[in-house]
Amino acid sequence: MADQTFRLPDLGEGLTEAQLVAWRVQEGAHVDVNAPLCDVETAKAVVVIPSPWAGTVQKLHARPGDSVAVGAPLVTIAAQGAPASAEPAAEAAPSTLVGYGPGGPEAGIRRRARVAPSAAVEPSTDVRAAPFVRQMAKEKGVDLAQVTGSGPGGRITKADVDSAAAPAAAASAPSTDGERRISVVGIRKAIARQMVRSVSTIPQFTEFAIFDATNLMAAREQRKASGRPMTPLPYFIAGVVKAVRAYPLMNSSWDESRDEIIVKQPINVGVAVNTSQGLLVPVLRGADKLELEAIAEQSAHLVDGARAGTLPPGQMSGGTITVTNVGASGPVETGTPIINPPECCVVAFGAIKPRPMVVNGQVLARSGAWISISVDHRIVDGALATEFLTALVAELESIRA
Neighbours of 30 (CB within 10 A): 13
With vertex at residue 178, the alpha carbon angle to CA 177 and CA 181, rounded to the nearest 5 degrees, is 105
Tens of pLDDT, residues 87-139: 443 333 333 222 223 333 344 555 444 433 334 444 444 567 766 677 677 76
Q: Would you state the pLDDT for residue 185?
A: 65
Average pLDDT of the residues of the chain:
83
pLDDT range class, residue 18, cuts 50, 70, 90: confident
Q: How many domains does the chain have?
A: 3
Q: 377 an active-site residue? A: yes
Range 343-365 average pLDDT: 95
Q: Would you state the pLDDT for residue 58?
A: 94
CA distance 131 to 184: 20
Range 358-384 average pLDDT: 96
- Do 161 and 49 share a structural domain? no
pLDDT range class, residue 12, cuts 50, 70, 90: low
Q: Would you state the pLDDT for residue 170?
A: 45
Q: Would you state the pLDDT for residue 124?
A: 46
- Do 15 and 80 share a structural domain? yes
Range 64-68 average pLDDT: 85
Q: Is the pLDDT of residue 52 over 80?
A: yes
Tens of pLDDT, residues 280-299: 999 999 999 999 999 999 99
- Do 235 and 149 share a structural domain? no
- Do 384 and 265 share a structural domain? yes
CATH of the domain at 43: 2.40.50.100
Q: Would you state the pLDDT for residue 176?
A: 62
Range 254-263 average pLDDT: 94
Q: Is residue 252 part of a domain?
A: yes
Q: Is residue 135 part of a domain?
A: yes
68 near 17, Cβ under 8 Å?
yes
Range 26-49 average pLDDT: 86
Range 321-335 average pLDDT: 89
Q: Is residue 207 part of a domain?
A: yes
Catalytic residue among 30, 61, 301, 377: 377
CA distance 273 to 281: 6
- Do 47 and 66 share a structural domain? yes
Q: Is residue 305 part of a domain?
A: yes
CATH of the domain at 321: 3.30.559.10
Range 338-353 average pLDDT: 96
Q: Would you state the pLDDT for residue 213?
A: 96
Q: Is the pLDDT of residue 379 over 90?
A: yes
Residue 33 DSSP SS3:
coil
Q: Would you state the pLDDT for residue 120?
A: 41
Residues in the chain: 401
Tell me which amino acid residue 330 is.
G
- Do 305 and 174 share a structural domain? no
In order of 151, 240, 249, the CA distances from 39 in angstroms are: 21, 36, 40
Q: Is residue 347 part of a domain?
A: yes
- Do 336 and 245 share a structural domain? yes
- Do 214 and 155 share a structural domain? no
Q: Is residue 51 part of a domain?
A: yes
pLDDT range class, residue 82, cuts 50, 70, 90: low
Tens of pLDDT, residues 179-221: 877 767 667 777 888 889 999 999 999 999 999 999 999 999 9
Residue 260 sits in which domain range?
188-397
